């Protein structure tokens, strides 16, 4: 299976790295990026073909992944209109709807929207996928194969829910990194050196996530197990509740969902 990327930034790098780790061949992967330094970096790091402009070889693929910023998409797609007939086109852009992507590609409709996240870099991503109803089973399977190479996949039945996927799991790693930053800062403020504070914070999140993933019980039950009556955890959780941490996180995820919808509406007007 031949895969091409339009845009070779953070996410394309994460996806290509993960795919190569999982047995995709470098000679089956191509990238186009406007920045010469991005092309040089991808070519030297991964051994893939990386070019500065769309050409016929790049478009001769089974899956074309659209990996430019939402604001860059319309201009980027203008270079494809009328030039593709075969590949299933997979957009990983936040917000942008199938109808608008299709219009910008001159009516091409073999489109799948995917929302991966950066842990794809180590094969630990999760991706929500939505296919235009016109995409056949083979097209869906091809798109899923690319994203499944870098983590788990979940098909979403309604396109409108892709903004919720973006808010929960697409942006989600940033929330977790932010939590790690806070835990690390707290450790440092309690007197640990930087390396020790970071180790304690990261390994705690890693271990807790693994425990949650491996357990038949939900995170609420696991939380209660840590929380001894009258103990230290109870004191910390009471402080979090007083600060409204839980509700603040829920509100933050809703803000991300709203921003995804706004992006789609604003950019789709043109």
Ligand X SMILES: NC(=O)C1=CN([C@@H]2O[C@H](COP(=O)(O)OP(=O)(O)OC[C@H]3O[C@@H](n4cnc5c(N)ncnc54)[C@H](O)[C@@H]3O)[C@@H](O)[C@H]2O)C=CC1
Ligand Y SMILES: O=C(O)[C@@H]1CCC=N1
Nearer to ligand X, 115 or 146 (CB): 115
112 part of the interface to ligand X, by CB under 6 A: no
Three-state SS at 154 = strand
4 part of the interface to ligand X, by CB under 6 A: no
Three-state SS at 82 = coil
Q: Are 38 and 8 in contact (CB under 8 A)?
A: yes
Minimum distance, C-beta of residue 234 to ligand X, in the bound complex (Å): 35
Contacts with ligand Y, residue ranges (CB under 6 A): 94, 166, 170-171
Closest CA relative to residue 169, chosen from 202, 130, 128: 128
Give the CA-trace dihedral at 261, 8, 20, 89, to 10 degrees: 50
Please, is 148 exposed, middle or buried when counting C-beta atoms within 10 Å of its C-beta (0-12, 13-18, 19+)?
middle
Q: Which residue from 3, 4, 11, 131 is in contact with ligand X, where contact means CB under 6 A? A: 11
127 part of the interface to ligand X, by CB under 6 A: no
Nearer to ligand Y, 58 or 143 (CB): 143
153 binding partner (options ligand Y, ligand X, none; Cβ < 5 to 8 Å by kind): none
Region 62-101 residues binding ligand X, contact defined as CB under 6 A: 67-70, 72, 75-76, 92-94
Integer angstrom CA distances of residue 159 from 115, 125, 141, 162, 253: 11, 20, 18, 6, 18
165 binding partner (options ligand X, ligand Y, none; Cβ < 5 to 8 Å by kind): none
Q: Which residue from 18, 87, 151, 170 is in contact with ligand X, where contact means CB under 6 A? A: 170
Minimum distance, C-beta of residue 159 to ligand Y, in the bound complex (Å): 16
Q: How many residues bind ligand X (CB under 6 A)?
A: 27
Q: How many CB atoms lie within 10 A of CB 222?
A: 14
């Amino acid at each position: 299976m031949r895969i091409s990327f339009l845009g070779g930034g953070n996410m394309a790098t994460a996806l290509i790295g993960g795919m190569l780790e999982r047995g995709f061949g470098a000679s089956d992967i191509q990238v186009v990026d406007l920045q010469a330094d991005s092309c040089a970096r991808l070519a030297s790091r991964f051994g893939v073909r990386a070019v500065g402009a769309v050409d016929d070889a790049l478009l001769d693929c089974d899956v074309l992944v659209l990996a430019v910023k939402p604001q860059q998409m319309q201009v980027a797609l203008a270079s494809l209109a009328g030039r593709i007939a075969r590949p299933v086109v997979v957009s990983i852009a936040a917000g942008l709807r199938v109808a608008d992507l299709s219009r910008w590609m001159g009516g091409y409709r073999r489109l799948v929207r995917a929302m991966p996240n950066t842990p794809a870099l180590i094969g630990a991503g999760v991706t929500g996928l939505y296919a235009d109803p016109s995409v056949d089973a083979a097209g869906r399977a091809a798109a899923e194969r690319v994203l499944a190479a870098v983590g788990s996949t979940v098909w979403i039945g309604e396109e409108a829910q892709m903004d919720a996927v973006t808010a929960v799991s697409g942006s989600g790693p940033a929330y977790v990194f932010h939590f790690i930053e806070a835990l690390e800062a707290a450790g440092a403020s309690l007197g640990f050196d930087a390396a020790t504070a970071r180790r304690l914070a990261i390994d705690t999140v890693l271990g807790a996530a693994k425990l949650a993933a491996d357990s038949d019980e939900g995170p609420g039950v696991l939380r209660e197990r840590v929380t001894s009556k009258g103990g230290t955890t109870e004191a910390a959780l009471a402080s979090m509740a007083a600060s409204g941490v839980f509700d603040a996180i829920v509100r933050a995820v809703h803000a991300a969902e709203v921003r995804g919808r706004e992006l789609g509406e604003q950019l789709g007007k043109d």
